[in-house]
Amino acid sequence: MLEVLLGLREIGAQVHLASCVEHSTNPWTDELCRSLRTDGICDEISIFSERTAPLVLRAPAYFKRIWGQARYPSGPPVPGLDFTTPAMRRWFTAVLERESVDRVFINYAYFAAALFNSRQGARPRSILDAHDLLSLNDAMQRALAPFIGPGPVFRAQAMDEQALRLDFFDKPFMKPHKSEFTSIDRFDVTLAITEREAAEMRASTRHTRVLIVPTPAAPAANGPARGSLALFPMGPHPFNLQGYAWFLRKVLPLICAECPEFELGVTGILYRHLILEYHPRVRILGFVADENELWKIGRMLVNPVFGGTGQPVKTIEAMAAGMPPVILERFASAAPITHGVNGFVARDEVEFADSCIRLWREPALCRSMGMAAMEAVRQECSRDKLAGQLQQALAA
């Protein structure tokens, strides 16, 4: 979303940022709001606070319950999840009535009800920044949840073999729910993040105009990364744990048979209540606050995740840092990777291991492919390109 704000500034738009999310690992602070204004990224900022809402409308348990339904439900899927409360919707309506707004961006369809509610009269043109097909993502997480197990320790070696199959998510019921497309179709414009998701949205909607706006990134100014580790940044969702278990069980033994000195560096907020068990060839580095310091750690990116939707942002950001990626075929179209030129696309554990071994053994190849990865990002995922795409979305 920060990249979208920077792109809007680039095309001269005045931006009023309205956020109704307090329940986050990155809460709003006065310092953050000041910096957004000082840097000219936002002209105005409005933050919803449950503390200012009437007691009956405060909902700290609401988010815990709804997130629990989305991630680990006990019943059937709940499509079209609404992460707003009545107080949030009233607050956002008041923001729109107070400001002179030409266009409204909604970040994730979870918050669409803040705009499309019965109290709102004439609406400005609406744009949905659709990072994922949410109902598909939720269905995939529901299928995987029983194999993750309770915390506090995630044991990759104990994960059921069924969850390590690369075709685990290739099931007939694993598809977006039609109610999500109904919600998407209420927007004038929808920004999809990959061609695959854009095609599904276009085929299942009638009103909204779907445009593709991939994740932008800026190539590093100091050339390719020169770290010592194969890097795997992990975010707080179960697909990363599944990918990690697959790599540990299926790929790492093949690598270590040829390169016993190989080391995988794992960074990020893994899970609030889950840690990874010890492995001699894995270094758990935790959260790295400075992005520039993060990419200095690795010489190559290892992204063994084969579940999830949207665009693996870590792959594009690593390529921008000059780090050639090794990914699985499922996500080959979600990043500007040309196999054998700026990264490797593997069909199975043997190809994944062979690619890692080759990059580990050949520093010169790793660096040349890193340079090619930076150039691919410059051509396909530049911030200038994003600005043009946002200009098109605003004019639609």
Query: HEC string of the chain?
Result: CHHHHHHHHHCCCCCEEEECCCCCCCCCCHHHHHHHHHCCCCCEEEECCHHHCCHHHCCHHHHHHHHHHHHCCCCCCCCCCCCCCHHHHHHHHHHHHHCCCCEEEEECHHHHHHCCCCCCCCCCEEEEECCCCHHHHHHHHHHHHHHHCCCCEECHHHCCHHHHCCCCCCCCCCCCCHHHHHHHCCCCEEEECCHHHHHHHHHHCCCCEEEECCCCCCCCCCCCCCCCEEEEECCCCHHHHHHHHHHHHHHHHHHHHHCCCCCEEEECCCCCCCEECCCCCEEEEECCCCHHHHHHCEEEEEECCCCCCCCCHHHHHHHHCCCCEEEEHHHHHHCCCCECCCEEEECCHHHHHHHHHHHHHCHHHHHHHHHHHHHHHHHHCCHHHHHHHHHHHHHC
Q: Comparing 2-212 with 229-380, is the CATH topology the same?
A: yes
Q: In the prediction, which pLDDT does 27 show?
A: 73
Q: What is the pLDDT of residue 28?
A: 80
Tell which CATH architecture fits domain 2-212: 3-Layer(aba) Sandwich (3.40)
Angle between helices 363-380 and 349-361 (to 10 degrees): 110
Give the right CATH number for 229-380 from 3.30.43.10, 3.90.1180.10, 1.10.3720.10, 3.40.50.2000.
3.40.50.2000
pLDDT in tens, 349-395: 999 999 999 999 999 999 999 999 999 999 988 888 889 999 999 98
Instruction: Provide the angle, in degrees to the nearest 10, between the axes of the packed helices 134-148 and 238-246.
Output: 60
Beta-carbon contacts of residue 258 (< 8 Å; ≥ 6 apart): 353, 357
pLDDT at position 23, please? 53
Q: What is the pLDDT of residues 285-340, one digit of tens each?
A: 988 988 889 999 999 999 999 998 877 889 999 999 999 999 999 888 888 999 99
Distance CA 369, CA 350 (A): 21
> Which pLDDT value is given to residue 22?
55
Q: What pLDDT is attached to residue 25?
A: 60
Listed by start position, the domains of the chain span 2-212, 229-380
| Structure token digits, residue 320 | 């921008």
Task: Give, for all 396 residues of the chain, the pLDDT tens digit.
Answer: 888 898 999 999 999 999 876 555 667 888 888 999 999 899 999 988 766 544 333 333 444 444 444 443 444 344 446 778 888 888 888 888 888 888 999 988 888 888 887 555 667 899 999 888 888 988 899 899 999 877 788 889 999 999 999 999 998 878 888 888 988 999 999 999 888 899 999 999 999 999 998 888 888 877 787 889 999 999 888 999 999 999 999 999 999 999 999 999 999 887 666 778 889 999 999 889 888 899 999 999 999 999 988 778 899 999 999 999 999 998 888 889 999 999 999 999 999 999 999 999 999 999 999 999 999 999 988 888 889 999 999 988
Angle at 147 between CA 273 and CA 179, to 5 degrees: 90
How much is the pLDDT for 70? 44
Instruction: Give the per-residue pLDDT at 78.
Output: 45
Supply the pLDDT for residue 66: 44
